[in-house]
C-alpha cells in the first residue's frame, strides 16, 4: 500500500469519527434532549461541523485524493477518493464562515420548528426559514447550474438529476395519479376505516413493530427503536443504526408503517460490505435509492395482501379486544384506503407522490424567487386544494408538518417520489428471481433481504444511482412501473 493510500485511510477514519459524534448529537436533538439544552447543543453541532468541513477541504487531503485517483488499483479506494473529491469541490466553494453559520442555523431552526408545529404558529419559524432559503439560494449560485438554480440543490441528493429531467416525469405522474384518484372516488366500493381507530396502547404497538422489524432482518444488537415527533433512521455506523417512529394510540397505522418505513432505511445501513466500513462509501448510493428501500418495505411488502395473510393473527395477539372481531378482507381494504389527507407520512400509496410533487413545485418557486416565505402557507394550501381537493385548517397539518425545510434541506423531497419509482422497478426485477408473493405469504423475509443486500445494500456508494438501477433491472430508469403498480392494485381494490 502506498503512502498516499495509507494517509487516505487515516483521513477517512478521522472524518468518520467526527461524523459519528455529530450523528449521535443529531439523534439526541431529535429524540431525548431537554428543551433548554437544544440551543447549547446547536453550538456544538456548529463546532463539529466546522471541524469536518476543515478536514474535507484541507490542501493535504486534496493532494492525497488526486494522487490516489491516478495511482491506486484498489476499486474501493479509487471510488472513495472520487467521492471525497466531489465533497471537496462542493465544500471548498462555500466560505467556511458561511458553512458554520448554516449548520448552526439548521440546529436552531429544527428546535424552533418543533415549537412552531406544536403551536401551529408559522411566524415562529418564518425568520429561520428565510435565512435558510437565502443560504440555499447562495449555495446554488456558488455550486453553479445550467438551467435552473434548483438543479444545484437536487444534485446534492441525487447526482445527475435536473428539473429538465424531473419536470416531465412529475407532470406525467401527477396526471396519472389524479386520474386514478378520481376513479377511486367515484367507485361504489365502501371502505370502512373506523374499525382501525380504536385505542391501541403504545407498548403493544411497539411489540408488534419490533416483531416486524426482526422479521425484516433488522439487527437489534446493532440498533434500537425510539420515539420522536418526526420519524427517521440514522446510521451512526453500520453496527449502530437507529430507528425512530411516532405512535398514535388511536391510529396504529402511523406507528406501524412509520416503523417499517424507517426499518427499510436501517436495513440498507446495516448491510454494507465490511470493506466499506472505514471509508466514506458506507452510505446509500443516493437519497432516491435510500427511499426506494423504505418505500419498498412499507408499501410493497407491509401493505400487501400476502403480508397480512401471514401476520394478521400475530397482529391480533397484541391488539386490543376491539380488533378481534374485524374480518380480514375488511381490515386489508381499510389499511389500503385511498383518501385525500393532509399529512404526507400518513398518506396512502396512491396519493403519496402528490404530496411530494406539491413540495417540489413550492421549493422550485422559493429558490427561484418566484415565491417568498411569507406567502408559503397560502401557496401550500392552494396547491393542496388543487392536487388533493382539501385545504388544511391550520399550519401544523399544512406547511409546518415536515422537518426538512426547517433543517435547510431543499432538493431532498423529490427523492421520495424518485425512490418510490425506483422501488417499483426493483420490485419487478426481484420478481424475476423470486416468487415474492409466496415468500411474503409464508412470513419469512430472509430471501427478500438477501436479494436486496446482494443487489443494493452491500454496494453502498460504490455505484452511481441510475447505473445501479440499470444494472439490477437490465433497463434504464422507467417510471411506468410505479404507475402500473398503483393502477393494478387500486383498480382491483376499488373495482374501478
Question: What pLDDT sits at residue 328?
Answer: 97
Look at residue 264 and tell me whether its pLDDT is greater than 80: yes
Average pLDDT of 30-42? 85
Backbone phi, psi, residue 470, to 5°:
-65, -40
Question: What pLDDT sits at residue 360?
Answer: 98
> What percentage of residues in the chain have a pLDDT greater than 70?
100
Mean pLDDT, the chain, rounded, equals 95
List pLDDT tens digits, range 3-26: 999 999 999 999 999 999 999 999
Contacts of 114 (CB under 8 A, 6+ apart): 229
Catalytic residue among 5, 83, 110, 262: 262
Look at residue 185 and tell me whether its pLDDT is greater than 90: yes
Where are the chain's structural domains? 3-144, 163-493
Look at residue 352 and tell me whether its pLDDT is greater than 90: yes
- Residues contributing to the annotated binding site for Zn(2+): 261, 265, 291
Question: What pLDDT sits at residue 82?
Answer: 96
Question: What pLDDT sits at residue 159?
Answer: 87
DSSP-assigned beta bridge partners for residue 237: 240
Nine-digit cell at 189?
Answer: 366500493
Backbone phi, psi, residue 481, to 5°:
-60, -40
Q: Which CATH architecture has domain 163-493?
A: Orthogonal Bundle (1.10)
Residue 311's pLDDT band (cuts 50, 70, 90): very high
- Looking up cell 442555523 gives 105
Residue 230's pLDDT band (cuts 50, 70, 90): confident
Look at residue 107 and tell me whether its pLDDT is greater than 90: no
Average pLDDT of 142-168? 93
Contacts of 127 (CB under 8 A, 6+ apart): none
List pLDDT tens digits, range 402-448: 999 999 999 999 999 999 999 999 999 999 999 999 999 999 999 99
3-state per-residue secondary structure call for the chain: CCHHHHHHHHHHHHHHHHHHHHHHHHHHHHHCCCHHHHHHHHHHHHHHHHHHHHHHCCHHHHHHHHHHHHHCCCHHHHHHHHHHHHHHHHHHCCCHHHHHHHHHHHHHHHHHHHHHHHHCCHHHHHHHHHHHHHHHHHHHHHHCCCCCHHHHHHHHHCCCCCHHHHHHHHHHHHHHHHHHHHHHHHCCCCCCCHHHCCCCCHHHHHHHHHHHHHHHCCCHHHEEEEECCCCCEEEEECCEEEEEECCCCCCHHHHHHHHHHHHHHHHHHHCCCHHHCCCCCCCCCCHHHHHHHHHHHHHHHCCCHHHHHHHHHHHHHHCCHHHCCCCHHHHHHHHCCCCCCCCHHHCCHHHHHHHHHHHHHHHHHHHCCCCCHHHHHHHHHHHHHHHHCCCCCCHHHCCCCCCCCCCCCCCCCHHHHHHHHHHHHHHHHHHHHCCHHHHHHHCCCHHHHHHHHHHCHHHCCCCCHHHHHHHHHCCCCCCHHHHHHHHHHHHHHCCC
Backbone phi, psi, residue 184, to 5°:
-70, -35
Question: What pLDDT sits at residue 96?
Answer: 83
| Half-sphere exposure of residue 388: CA atoms within 13 angstroms, side-chain side | 27
CA distance 449 to 44: 38
> Among 34-38, 128-132, 388-392, 423-427, whose mean pLDDT is lowest?
34-38
Look at residue 392 and tell me whether its pLDDT is greater than 90: yes
Question: What pLDDT sits at residue 475?
Answer: 94
**Is 262 considered catalytic here?**
yes
Amino acid at each position: 500500500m502506498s503512502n498516499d493510500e495509507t494517509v487516505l485511510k487515516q483521513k477517512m477514519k478521522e472524518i468518520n469519527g467526527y461524523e459519528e459524534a455529530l450523528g449521535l448529537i443529531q439523534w439526541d436533538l431529535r429524540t431525548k434532549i431537554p428543551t433548554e439544552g437544544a440551543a447549547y447543543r446547536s453550538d456544538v453541532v456548529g463546532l463539529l461541523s466546522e471541524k469536518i468541513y476543515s478536514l474535507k477541504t484541507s490542501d493535504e487531503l486534496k493532494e492525497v485524493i488526486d494522487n490516489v485517483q491516478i495511482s491506486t488499483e484498489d476499486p474501493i479506494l479509487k471510488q472513495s477518493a472520487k467521492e471525497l473529491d466531489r465533497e471537496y469541490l462542493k465544500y471548498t466553494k462555500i466560505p467556511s464562515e458561511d458553512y458554520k453559520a448554516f449548520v448552526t442555523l439548521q440546529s436552531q431552526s429544527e428546535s424552533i420548528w418543533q415549537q412552531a408545529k406544536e403551536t401551529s404558529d408559522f411566524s415562529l419559524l418564518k425568520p429561520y426559514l428565510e435565512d435558510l432559503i437565502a443560504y440555499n439560494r447562495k449555495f446554488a449560485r456558488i455550486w453553479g447550474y445550467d438551467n435552473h438554480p434548483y438543479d444545484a440543490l437536487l444534485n446534492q441528493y441525487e447526482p445527475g438529476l435536473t428539473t429538465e429531467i424531473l419536470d416531465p416525469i412529475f407532470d406525467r405522474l401527477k396526471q396519472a395519479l389524479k386520474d386514478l384518484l378520481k376513479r377511486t372516488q367515484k367507485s361504489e366500493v365502501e371502505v370502512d376505516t373506523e374499525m382501525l381507530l380504536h385505542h391501541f396502547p403504545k407498548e403493544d404497538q411497539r411489540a408488534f413493530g419490533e416483531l416486524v422489524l426482526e422479521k425484516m432482518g433488522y439487527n437489534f444488537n446493532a440498533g434500537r427503536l425510539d420515539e420522536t415527533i418526526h420519524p427517521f433512521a440514522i446510521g451512526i455506523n453500520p453496527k449502530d443504526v437507529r430507528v425512530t417512529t411516532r405512535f398514535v394510540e388511536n391510529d396504529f397505522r402511523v406507528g406501524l408503517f412509520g416503523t417499517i418505513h424507517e426499518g427499510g432505511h436501517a436495513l440498507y445501513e446495516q448491510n454494507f460490505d465490511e470493506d466499506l466500513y472505514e471509508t466514506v462509501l458506507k452510505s446509500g448510493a443516493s437519497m432516491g435509492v435510500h427511499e426506494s428501500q423504505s418505500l419498498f418495505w412499507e408499501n410493497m411488502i407491509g401493505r400487501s395482501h400476502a403480508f397480512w395473510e401471514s401476520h394478521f393473527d400475530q397482529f391480533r395477539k397484541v391488539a386490543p379486544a376491539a380488533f378481534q372481531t374485524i374480518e380480514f378482507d375488511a381490515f386489508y381494504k381499510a389499511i389500503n384506503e385511498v383518501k385525500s389527507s393532509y399529512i404526507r407520512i400518513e398518506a396512502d400509496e396512491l396519493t403519496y407522490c402528490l404530496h411530494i410533487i406539491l413540495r417540489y413545485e413550492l421549493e422550485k418557486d422559493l429558490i427561484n424567487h418566484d415565491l417568498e416565505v411569507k406567502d408559503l402557507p397560502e401557496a401550500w394550501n392552494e396547491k393542496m386544494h388543487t392536487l388533493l381537493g382539501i385545504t388544511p385548517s391550520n399550519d401544523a397539518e399544512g406547511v409546518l408538518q415536515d422537518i426538512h425545510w426547517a433543517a435547510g434541506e431543499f432538493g431532498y423531497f423529490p427523492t421520495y417520489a424518485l425512490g418510490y419509482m425506483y422501488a417499483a422497478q426493483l420490485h419487478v426485477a426481484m420478481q424475476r428471481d423470486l416468487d415474492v408473493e409466496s415468500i411474503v405469504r409464508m412470513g419469512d423475509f430472509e430471501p427478500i433481504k438477501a436479494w436486496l443486500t446482494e443487489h443494493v445494500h452491500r454496494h453502498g456508494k460504490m455505484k452511481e444511482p441510475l447505473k445501479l438501477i440499470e444494472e439490477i433491472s437490465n433497463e434504464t430508469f422507467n417510471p411506468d412501473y410505479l404507475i402500473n403498480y398503483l393502477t393494478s392494485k387500486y383498480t382491483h381494490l376499488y373495482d374501478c
